[in-house]
Amino acid sequence: MEPHKKFTWPRPAVVAAMITVALGTAGCAKHARPEQPPPFVQAVVAQFGAITPASMMSGIIAPYENVAIQSSLNEPADAVNVQEGDRVAKGQLLAELDTADLEAQLQADLATANANQANTTHTVYQGSLSISQGNQTLNSMRGALQAAQATLQKDQRDLQRDLQLFTQGYLSEQVYQAQQATVRSDQGAVEQAMSNLRSAAATVQANGSNINAPGLQSSSVEQSRAQVQVALAQANQIRVSISKARIVSPIDGVVVNRNLNPGEYPGNRQIFTLQQVSPIYAVLRGSSDQIAGIANGARATISTTGTGLHRSLSGAVIGVLNEIQPGSTQFQVKVLLPNPDQDLRPGMAIQGSVVLPNVRGVRVPETAFTDDNHDAVQIVQSDSTVKTVKVSEVANDGTNSIVSGIQSGTRVVANGQSSVGDGQKVSYRP
């Protein structure tokens, strides 16, 4: 059995050190931080769906029609009835030119037409008379020919009788020769009668059988009638010129330029410029990417900018025009807008949003992109860690985007510009 050892108190310095270590250990245990929970993020599930995107473009208001008015008349202005800025209606009288010399010319042409009409009547009567006389002469020549032929036949029979008597010695040679001379004379008379008949027939054929049948007399009548029509046509031309002296508005619009005063000749210059502003056009300018997919009839929302007038109007696209200048990449989209109060004016700056065709695909909120390039989103993996993945934006409607690069069902961080980083574990609400 070991001998009993005597207890010895530790030295004071050792006791102090032990107390210090004990206190330090107790202090560390008291201030140790508990483990922090993972940060919370709002997450959404990307799903297959559709959006209706829109193309944003800027532009200006343009008139529906811009009409430049000139006059072809070399006549002074009697009156000018409008001022610049006046609203005018279609058919409203803008100015009137002096037409005194045109009225005088009109009366002269009408008098010529009347004289030609009288000459036509005379020609009709004269032609009818000539045709009647020609027919009478033709009938007379036929009768003369028949008489000459009858005389010839009679004298030829007498010649045959005299020849027998002369042969038998009952008739002298002198008498027989006299009868031969008579027959020859009758033959000449028949030939002359036939010639006269042919001449009369040719005259009747040339004149025509009546005044309306083809022939010399009817052509004279037609010529006279044509002269009547020429004079009337000249009169109508003067009437047209007189009508042009009344310069009227071809549209409902606004006078934006007046370049004519009373007493002035219009010359070849532009004397009025009118603009139709109800309806009115919004002309948007965009690149090839911005106008791609825009079709005629697409709905557009137009907002005025930079003016005291703040309005938002809806209209329809009526045309997508090719590049403004050859070689440029700027195109025009024309939108037809109502403007009943005419408070939209050509030249106003505007912003336009044109609805594009629906796009289908994997849909995510536009806030999910990590930056303004819209080429990356953060996804929550199965182990609740965050990972940044590359995507391509196909289209957006200002709230949601259709992207490629992720599959439907992928859990996406709704706020892509949050402070969480790749590999960090997060908590989320399903």
Give the mean model confidence (pLDDT) for residues 209-224. 76
pLDDT at position 108 = 93
Name the least confident of 71-85, 117-131, 135-149.
Answer: 117-131
Q: What is the model's pTM? A: 0.61
The residue ranking higher by pLDDT, 123 or 13, is: 123
What pLDDT sits at residue 31?
A: 52
- Average of pLDDT values for 38-57? 91
Measured CA to CA, the distance from residue 420 to residue 422 in angstroms comes to 7
Residue whose C-alpha is closest to residue 260's, from 75, 66, 50, 89: 75
Quick one: CA torsion of 143, 144, 150, 151, rounded to 10 degrees? 160
* Fold for the domain defined by 102-239: Helix Hairpins (1.10.287)
Cβ–Cβ under 8 Å, residues 33 and 420: no
Q: How many residues does the chain have?
A: 430
DSSP 369: B
Q: Rg of the chain over CA atoms, in angstroms?
A: 57
Percent of the chain's residues with pLDDT above 70: 90
Q: Return d(Cα 56, Cα 85) in angstroms, integer.
A: 33
Provide the pLDDT for residue 22. 47
Structurally, at CATH architecture level, domain 43-52+359-428 sits in Beta Barrel (2.40)
194: closest CA among 141, 137, 139? 141
Question: Quick one: average pLDDT of 369-385?
Answer: 91
Among residues 151, 224, 217, 225, the alpha carbon closest in space to that of 188 is found at 151
d(CA 255, CA 281) in angstroms, rounded, equals 18
Ranges of each domain in the chain: 43-52+359-428, 102-239, 275-355
Give the chain's mean pLDDT: 86
The pLDDT value recorded for residue 330 is 85
Predicted pLDDT at 89: 95
The alpha-helical segments, DSSP class H, found in 216-347 are: 216-244, 288-291
Fold of the CATH domain 275-355: Elongation Factor Tu (Ef-tu); domain 3 (2.40.30)
CA atoms within 13 A on the CB side of 377: 31
Separation between Cα atoms, residue 169 and residue 160, nearest integer Å: 14
**Which DSSP state fits 99?**
-
Note the pLDDT tens digit of each residue in 237-280. 999 999 999 999 999 999 999 999 999 999 999 999 999 999 99
**For range 292-318, the mean pLDDT:** 86
